[in-house]
Every structure is written in structure tokens, then in C-alpha cells.
Amino acid sequence: MSPKPIITPDKFDAVLFDLDGVITATAKIHAACWKRMFDDFLSRRAVESGRTLQPFDLATDYKHYVDGKLRYDGVQSFLASRGIELPFGTPQDPPGTATVCGLGNLKDEMVKEKIRHGEVDIHPDGVALARHVRTLGLKTAVVSASKNCQEVLEAVGLAELFDVRVDGNVADDLDLPGKPAPDTFLQAAAMLQVQPERAVVVEDALSGVAAGRAGGFGLVIGVDRKGDALALKEGGADLVVADLRELID
């Protein structure tokens, strides 16, 4: 078991939580939708080009190219890994249009459909830690690349657990770069009126712990959901745990 840090009001004023993989267990939903969308696109592209294209791999591509990133950033990152360039388009592009935005919008429609059908689960340990730090008087924020963050929180009845929400919509409105840039976490800290060195970041994604480290936060906790303990540590986590309840007295 990892050593247990003391998250107390004398050291910290706030805890900033990632959503997917920390509070909610929507990673499987997102991964399945990314794969379905990309594989359909690659299949059409292969027919048009006459070339065999490698399908989206859940074990490697999800983690390296899309996990924790803003949706359009994830589309661009994966397509670049396959040597494919598409016009960026606009956020108003119809789902499925052969643009970065069109593909991202199609993936978003797939995710929303699963949310509407009640396919969202929670990570009890993440919820337990959020509730615990609130009892200590610490402020809480959820910082997510997802534009469906509010819908997901409402679907599982956890919207009131966070004082501040910085999601993909806020990032777009304020023109903030996504993780691994620290800007969304720094925005959450500013909205909570706390200094980064007095705030804790809780993340399961490699891009997320890198963002926490780059932002100069007082403590960056990595949650090992996928057997990535070493990578999380090397990527910027001060501490890696398999279960966030280890941090509760």
C-alpha cells in the first residue's frame, strides 16, 4: 500500500477531481464509442483509398491518443498517429462529417445516447474521497475534458458534490487548452479562489497528472485504474493509489 498523505485544511484549501476514471466509471463508454466511431471511419477510408488501415486499438490507442483530452484534440491526435489529415471544420459540423469536428461530434452523439440509457456507473472510492474532503471544509472542483460533464453528474446524482465545474464547454468558452496543459486545473483553482500550491489534483489519466504537475499544484494524486502506476508516477504524480479510500482516515 502507498504511504497515506494527510489531506487536511492546514495544508490544503481545495481538491480538484477529474471526472472519468476518478468519480464516474465512464471510461468503458468513451472507449467503446471512440472505437466504433474511428473503426467506421477507417473502414470507409480504406475502401476509398484501397489501403488497409489499422483499426483503433483499445489497449493502446485510447490511452495514448484520446484519454483525458478534449474531444477534438483526441480526434486530431489519433488521426495523426495513422498519418491522416482532415480539415478541422467547425463545432457545428453534422456528426459524421469528414472533419475533425464532425468525427468528434459523432462520438459525442454516441456517448450521449449511452448516458440517456443510464449506462453510467460511479467509482465509490472517488465519491467517498470527495465527500470526505468536503466534511473537512475543503472546496471541491471537477475538471474534465468532457462536454457532457454536467449531464453525467446529474445522471448519477452527484452534481452538488462540487463547488466548481470546469469542463469541455468552459474550456471552449475561455479558449483554454486541454490536458496535459494545466490551464483547466488553474482555471478551477482561480474560480475557487485558492492558490495552486494549496490545492490537490486527483487524476487517473497520464495527461491529467502531467497537467497537475505543470500547474504547480501542492499534491498530485494518480489513481491506478489501468495498471499504469509507474507511468503515472513518472508522468508527475506525487503519489499513486489503487483505491482512493486509502487516503481517508
pLDDT tens digits, one per residue of 58-104:
989 998 899 878 899 999 999 999 999 999 999 999 999 999 999 99
Q: Which of 18, 61, 224, 228 is catalytic?
A: 18
d(CA 244, CA 249): 11
d(CA 189, CA 216): 11
Q: Which amino acid is at 123?
A: H
Q: Which of 10, 13, 20, 163 is catalytic?
A: 20
Domains of the chain, residue spans: 14-26+120-247, 28-116
Task: Kindly state the cell numbers that stand for 71.
Answer: 474531444
**Packed helices 100-116 and 27-49: angle between N→C axes, nearest 10 degrees:** 140
Q: For 14-26+120-247, which CATH class?
A: alpha beta
Residue 67 falls in the annotated catalytic set: no
Residue among 203, 195, 198, 194 at smallest CA distance from 238: 203
Torsion of CA 220, 17, 146, 191, to 10 degrees: -100
Q: What is the model's pLDDT at position 2?
A: 46
Q: What is the model's pLDDT at position 116?
A: 86
**Packed helices 71-81 and 27-49: angle between N→C axes, nearest 10 degrees:** 50
Q: What is the model's pLDDT at position 1?
A: 46
Q: What is the model's pLDDT at position 4?
A: 53
Write the DSSP symbol of residue 95.
T
- SS3 percent helix, strand, coil of the chain, rounded to 5, is 50, 10, 40
Residue 61 falls in the annotated catalytic set: no
Q: What is the model's pLDDT at position 93?
A: 97
Residues 6+ apart with CB under 8 A from 205: 18, 21, 67, 68, 179
Q: What is the model's pLDDT at position 46?
A: 92
Q: What is the model's pLDDT at position 101?
A: 98
d(CA 61, CA 75): 11
Stretches in the chain below the pLDDT threshold 70: 1-5, 249
Q: What is the model's pLDDT at position 119?
A: 85
Residue among 236, 208, 185 at smallest CA distance from 67: 208
